[in-house]
Structure 1
């Protein structure tokens, strides 16, 4: 079943991620979809969770106030992410990610082709641009990113500080790929970090959890989807190819 609630006090995507994280951790809550602009939350439950329980988890944060809307939705299938599908088109939804990939790919191809550096160097330039750009957006609201990331990443769920550390790991990897620092170590770290990251993404997508993707921090409202899996898988694949080429 999915119930709707009013939630006041949310002023930014960081607030949205915080409230979403708190409510998602309540036993019985399977999905939380927050409409920040309208101060509304649709909460899907495997069994009824009373309003007092929802309010109790927000009590330590007095700025957030939850109240019933007295409107209920029909039960949803276990295979449905939410009763109301995102009305945006694929392009409208993933425009930021697609543009970033397009720009980074274009720069990598132009540099490698015009300078005659080869496709391996082009791949290294792409990976550098990927990590630098994505870490930049996370830096804009690092607290919001950490809150969002802790909702699905298997490490950040248990150790929230990993969300903050992860941003600087991405930055370090971007710089390492840019200057060609210790290719073996850089690619091994990339493979390990991205492999761990993709586990939480796969779990969320396969479980049909409708939550905000933290790949671009809390700046853009991107849903977790197969696009997120492709992002992580691409970096894993590239690191494997580069490691194989060193043999």
Structure 2
């Protein structure tokens, strides 16, 4: 059935939702389920379960282990994810790969670059705007890794050639990337920031190229932290090459100026 046909059918269908709503806990998936069904045109009968006894009683009667639970007519559809699947919508899974985190970070970094350029010179399109954006991306990516250095280092060891030889490098990398980004954003201590970016970018580019294009391995990228589902590949290689470019550009610009 097409999404249009489903929407038309939904407008005449009643959905009963049983969800947890106690003084101690308001189930977020229950709220998401209510909102989704209403947006899809269902007439929703909301049945909040307001006590632990009511919740356990409902679970026992319905033969289920979790709430919320949704019924369309006499058919039990299930919880939030089952409702999404029933409506033909995507169901995010733990193993689902996505470039969304990387896109979000680079888009935000671009906006930061434009904002800093405007604040510094009164124009969004300046010669330094790309530098601001790239440096901001490095800081944001470093911050993602710093949230859980242990998980990052574990995932990083799957493909980084230097970390495989010297494990502590995997722990130092997030700090080096963040420091290089902050210094480049400030335009300070180029003698330190540029070699850092050049070094980690070069090692990273070689490691990603070997893992993906030589060894043909299918891996997750640690670029946005150790719990990400971003595929290792072109985006990861580009990120490292951009750092190499920044590492070369910053001292060259200082010499020419």
TM-score of the aligned structures, taking structure 2 as reference length: 0.56
Q: Structure 1 CA distance, aligned partners of 2:233 and 2:204?
A: 14
Which of 181, 184, 202 is matched with 2:188 structurally?
181
Superposition pairs of residues 138-157 of structure 1, within 5 angstroms: 138-157=145-164
Change (3 A) 1:148 1:232: same
Q: Which has the larger radius of gyration?
A: 2
Using the TM superposition, give the Cα deviation of residue 132 of structure 1 relative to its aligned residue in structure 2, in angstroms: 1.6
Unaligned runs of 5+ in 2: 1-92
TM-score of the aligned structures, taking structure 1 as reference length: 0.58
1:219 is the counterpart of 2:227: yes
1:104 is the counterpart of 2:109: yes
Superposition pairs of residues 38-117 of structure 1, within 5 angstroms: 93-116=98-121
Using the TM superposition, give the Cα deviation of residue 120 of structure 1 relative to its aligned residue in structure 2, in angstroms: 4.2
Q: Structure 1 CA distance, aligned partners of 2:112 and 2:135?
A: 11
Using the TM superposition, give the Cα deviation of residue 221 of structure 1 relative to its aligned residue in structure 2, in angstroms: 1.0
Using the TM superposition, give the Cα deviation of residue 209 of structure 1 relative to its aligned residue in structure 2, in angstroms: 0.3
Using the TM superposition, give the Cα deviation of residue 134 of structure 1 relative to its aligned residue in structure 2, in angstroms: 1.0
1:234 is the counterpart of 2:242: yes
1:132 is the counterpart of 2:132: no
Aligned residues: 158
Do 1:140 and 1:219's aligned partners in 2 also have CA atoms closer than 8 Å? no
Higher relative contact order (CA 8 A, sep 6+): 1
Change (3 A) 1:209 1:231: same
Using the TM superposition, give the Cα deviation of residue 183 of structure 1 relative to its aligned residue in structure 2, in angstroms: 1.8
Using the TM superposition, give the Cα deviation of residue 195 of structure 1 relative to its aligned residue in structure 2, in angstroms: 0.6
Do 2:177 and 2:196's aligned partners in 1 also have CA atoms closer than 8 Å? no
Larger helix proportion, structure 1 or 2?
Answer: 2
Unaligned runs of 5+ in 1: 1-87
Q: Which runs of 4+ in 1 moved over 4 A?
A: none
SS at match of 1:156: helix
SS at match of 2:152: helix
